[in-house]
Amino acid sequence: MSHPVALDRPGERVVLMGNEAIARGAIEGGITLAASYPGTPSSEIGNTLARVAKKLGFHFEWSANEKVALEVAYGASMVNQRVICPMKHVGVNVALDILNPITLRGVKGGLVVVSTDDPSQHSSRTEQDNRWMGKLNDVPIIEPSSPQEAKDLTKYALILSEQVKLPVLIRTVTRLSHMRADVELGEIEDLGRKPEFDWEGFSYRVTGFEKLFRRHKERHEKIDAVEAEFEKVPFNTIKNNGEKTGIIGVGFAFTYVKDALEAMDVEDKVAWMKLLTPHPLPKKKVGEFIKGLDTLLIAEEVDPYVELHIKALAKDTNPSLKILGRMDGTLPREGELSHEMIDEKISEILGMPKKPTERAEIEAEKDELLFDRMLTMCAGCPHRSSLYALKKAVKEVKGDLMNVVVNGDIGCYGLAHAPPMAFEDTYFAMGASIGVSQGMQQMGVDTIAWIGDGTFLHAGIPALQNAVHNGANIKIVVADNAAVAMTGFQTNPQMGVTATGDKVDPIMIEDIARASGVKHVEVVDPYDLDAAEAAFKRMLEAEGVAMVISRRVCAMVAVRKMRPERPPVYVVDPEKCIGCKQCLNNYGCPALMWNEDERKASIDTTLCMGCDSCAQVCPVGAIGRRD
């Protein structure tokens, strides 16, 4: 499939998403391998690379998880290939176990790790700031402020990585990952390197343990060399004509600063610095910038990382400097910034009246017109049917829904906590449902682990084996919709196809479960509510670890496969409907509607996926297929 990132037309300008620009930068940098695990807001980097990998002749894969992805990437780096490994911010937590030793052992071919952070938690359970990860592990960090810089600095990071023999972290935020802008293409570099293992650099047999791992001093020297490099790079820019008020915009936050200064027409009253290298901080350059200032505002997302380091720097450089930012409450301690927010703070600092912005007026008007929409699963989602049947089974076997704790996991099915299902008590991290369920069960609390197919293959297998080995009497429901749906329908090992479309043998979850020692394993179709309920009852009554795999392809995928045909449509017979609302209150598909005048249910046929589940839920048979 074609994509603008594959164009070999240096100088041509194309519109790219920030994530696509990162993919293009990696291509221009001459990568021969890319490995990733999907997670919003990073997924489009991998999606883009997957589309063009075969055409451009590099290997791309969706790996089992982020740790494996980084291990795969590092393997290629050790044999002198340039590589990229994108992931969302919390994915770096998974990869950290291999990231730390990489910085000690060093790299051969350029290795870029991309962390797409998520201030304001648009699609994440935390707004973790991964700049701390760079400092913890001596990994240089670069923060682009635009898609053009995202492309250019990804290529630069590959080169820098080879120069200093360290992995380099490109850190973005959601707004940059998903914004689109005009990007000028550069030349696609084909390094033509023969893959060769660096025996002197990486082999115990040749070098020995002491030389390969007792290297913290060497690692510190490398990060010092990066700091010297960051002192002279042209993309850390300064405008200072002797103004006494200054602003530092870090990474994408500089965009807010620039917009605010232009909107307020105060560019001649405020000194500014665009800082794209938060770690290691170019202390000399920053010190020169802050030396003559009275007041400094630091805009960054999301933690006061640079602010903390500049406070320490100012103690020697400019002790009387008043530093404002997230630490002192000038800017909020959490969440995204905006240029309106920066407007307000600049107005306060300069003693100017605050001007209402067009955006603020539009947002105020919007608040009067629109209402917040609650989270819900798609119309026809098989997970809803699974939950409906599971709740009925738990009521019958356990007597009350509150007699069992449902530990959920990360994915579409994680919306099980939302009404009307409201049948999920916790979810924390990929695969954690199976682990935390064991701790509760070992203490005598009944649990159900509620996990998806992709998440199970990502991080559920070790926890499953732990449950069998340690005799934890947990029950596991795998909500298997044959898709990594929430992040954009990427592949997983059970789907029988790779990221680039190659057919492979599927690795089935039921085979893994049985091989791990689970005696009670069933596969059921959740659209058959009676059969699903019966299977869940058997699971709840079974001895030891028991699993039901509730398998039905994602409704979105199913409809796409049907096109140009459309799915069958179900309707409510108003003559039979008694207005009991069981279909709405207990099942709650978005296609189900309520007619207040007639006190009857109805179905929005434009949303109906034809799954038949609501017809099974209706106690009076009022819902049926329209011929």
Alpha carbon separation from 468 to 432, 476, 546, 549 (Å, rounded): 16, 12, 10, 17
Is residue 147 within 8 A of residue 181, CB to CB? The reply is: yes
| Cβ-count burial 279-301 (b if 16+ within 10 Å, e if not) | bbbbbebbbebbeebebbbbbbb
Residue with tokens 């819900």: 376
CA Rg value for the chain: 27
CA distance 533 to 17: 45
Which CATH code for domain 4-232? 3.40.50.970
CATH 3.40.50.300 fits 237-369, yes or no: no
Is residue 24 within 8 A of residue 5, CB to CB? The reply is: yes
The CATH fold assigned to 568-625 is Alpha-Beta Plaits (3.30.70)
Length of the chain: 627
pLDDT at res. 1: 52
Task: At 93, list the tokens.
Answer: 């937590």
426 by DSSP, 3-state: which?
Answer: strand
Is residue 151 within 8 A of residue 235, CB to CB? The reply is: no
Neighbours of 348 (CB within 10 A): 13
322 by DSSP, 3-state: which?
Answer: strand
pTM for this predicted structure? 0.91
Range list for CATH 3.40.50.970 in the chain? 4-232, 382-561
Largest CA distance in the chain: 84
What is the CB-side half-sphere exposure of residue 359 using CA atoms within 13 A? 8
Range list for CATH 3.30.70.20 in the chain? 568-625
Residue with tokens 């997302």: 301
CA distance 384 to 376: 9
Q: Considering only CA atoms, which of 409, 447, 412 is closest in space to residue 427? A: 409
Residue with tokens 């959601």: 174
| Cβ-count burial 508-540 (b if 16+ within 10 Å, e if not) | bbbebbeebebebbbebebbbbeebbebbbbbb
Is residue 332 within 8 A of residue 115, CB to CB? The reply is: no
Is residue 453 within 8 A of residue 513, CB to CB? The reply is: no
546-557: per-residue pLDDT in tens? Answer: 999 999 999 888
Range list for CATH 3.40.50.920 in the chain? 237-369
pLDDT at res. 357: 64
pLDDT at res. 488: 86
CA distance 242 to 301: 27
Alpha carbon separation from 455 to 60, 290, 558 (Å, rounded): 20, 47, 21
Residues of the chain with pLDDT below 50 are none
CATH class for the domain made up of 382-561: alpha beta
Instruction: Quickly list DSSP for 63-112.
Output: -SSHHHHHHHHHHHHHTT--EEEEEETTHHHHHHHHHHHHHHH--SS-EE
Task: At 467, list the tokens.
Answer: 């449950």
| Cβ-count burial 120-140 (b if 16+ within 10 Å, e if not) | beeebeebbbbbebbbebbbb
Is residue 154 within 8 A of residue 25, CB to CB? The reply is: yes
The residue type of 585 is N
CA distance 112 to 139: 10
